[in-house]
Amino acid sequence: MDCSCQERVFNFSAGPGVLPLPVLKEAQRDLVCYPGAGASLMELSHRGKVISGIFDDAEARLRRIMNLPEDYHVMFLQGGATTQFCMVPMNFLGEKGADYTEQGTWSKKAMGEAKRLGKVHLVWSGNEGGFKTLPTDEEMDVRPDADYLHITSNETIHGLEFQHDPKDWGVPVICDCSSDFLSRPIDPKKYGMIYAGAQKNVGPAGVTVVILSDSLYKRVIPDERRPIMMDYRTHVEGKSMHNTPPVFAVYIVDLVLKWLEEEIGGLEKIHALNKKKAALLYKAIDESDGFYKGHAAKEVRSLMNVTWRMASEELEKKFAAEAEALGMCGLKGHRSVGGMRASIYNAFPYEGVERLVEFMADFKRRNG
């Protein structure tokens, strides 16, 4: 059965997340036969002009949108952010050890991978507090001689987000930006490396965007035992095409970047839209007289992943089931923490948040 645009639900899933409808429509038109190619993109050689042109266009758009300096390398890799958890220490973790924050589930997993490979220094942990807040600059015990500092800009499961770029501690900052990538303006020069699984804000699952400063790139530790595909030099020198890349996924990324640049108007505009959506939803939580209880401290609330609890798990299950029956899907919290979670990434429409807020008020009237 075909799914018409009128039948599409409001998808609050944390990932893969909602994609812009114009992107899906253009991809649908091009799926069988890409214009001028005589075949589907999935049938074309990645060494040919069509695919290399798409990769070049995606990189150029990304550089413009982020105002990325020329001395930063852009890679489109595979394996998700989880592969970067081990790839980062395999390339940069030396005798001095690396500094890691423990802000939630994903930063904890990244640190765990690094510990397999060398020394790790914990600069701050929110574990004892139930991952409800994030560290201030003053609270972070960063060592001036660390090989690098690893942070996570947005913790998807707990709904926490840094609201500013990192301080300059004199060490390279490597940031997992998977769930808030391109959701707001940042200063790329504050980071030695940024990586992001595409399936939240910038494309489908299957491709990971990696942005690496040349200064950090030059610090890759020589290691003849390192698998060639786990070496950043392989992908910088091969321009993300050492082996067959995720062609169709990068094509969708290119279309999403085009939508963000040309239809939305860039990062300032999308940030304003994201703040507007989040403000409406947090207002409904805050004004519910405790019926809905937000998880994250107000000063570090995520614009991408809004998390809350209710009086009981049974009530939460009822909420999720009724919402899904009304065309609002993906509102259950992560299986590791429970509760509710509304992921409202870049492409999520404001109308969907309005619909959810209306339902929340009605549900509270009937169950409060």
Q: Which of 99, 106, 108, 332 is catalytic?
A: 106
**To which residue do tokens 């042109």 refer?**
53
Residues of the chain with CATH 3.40.640.10: 24-263
Residue 264 DSSP label: I
C-alpha distances out from residue 132 to 70, 77, 163, 197, 348, Å: 37, 32, 15, 24, 25
The tally of CA atoms less than 13 A away on the side-chain side of residue 3 is: 7
Q: What's the pLDDT score for residue 4? A: 47
Could you tell me which CATH class the domain 266-367 is placed in? Answer: alpha beta
For 67-93, what is each residue's pLDDT tens digit? 999 999 999 999 999 999 999 999 999
Query: Of the candidates 38, 158, 62, which has an alpha carbon nearest to the alpha carbon of residue 103?
Result: 158
Give the domain 24-263 fold.
Aspartate Aminotransferase; domain 2 (3.40.640)
Q: Which of 176, 180, 231, 254 is catalytic?
A: 176
What distance in Å separates the CA atoms of residue 3 and residue 5, rounded to the nearest whole number? 7
C-alpha distances out from residue 183 to 66, 74, 227, 258, 321, Å: 11, 18, 33, 15, 29
* Beta-strand pair 208-213/193-197: antiparallel
Tokens of 268: 């300032």
Would you report the helix, strand and coil content of the chain in percent, each value rounded to 5? Answer: 40, 15, 45
Round the CA-based radius of gyration of the chain to a whole number and report it.
21
Q: Which of 108, 200, 277, 332 is catalytic?
A: 200
pLDDT band at 2 (very low <50, low <70, confident <90, very high): very low
Catalytic residue list contains 106: yes
Catalytic residue list contains 176: yes
For 116-175, what is each residue's pLDDT tens digit? 999 999 999 999 999 999 999 999 999 999 999 999 999 999 999 999 999 999 999 999
* Averaged pLDDT, 215-237: 97
pLDDT band at 6 (very low <50, low <70, confident <90, very high): low
**To which residue do tokens 């939305």 refer?**
264
What distance in Å separates the CA atoms of residue 35 and residue 9, rounded to the nearest whole number? 30
Catalytic residue list contains 49: no
Q: What's the pLDDT score for residue 336? A: 79
Task: Give burial (CB, 10 Å; 0-12/13-18/19+) of 58.
Answer: buried
b (16+ CB within 10 A) / e for 115-140: eeebebbebbbbeeeebbbbbeeeeb
**To which residue do tokens 């390398």 refer?**
73
**Segments in 169-310 forming alpha helices (H):** 214-217, 232-237, 247-258, 267-286
- pTM, to two decimals: 0.95
Residues of the chain with CATH 3.90.1150.10: 266-367
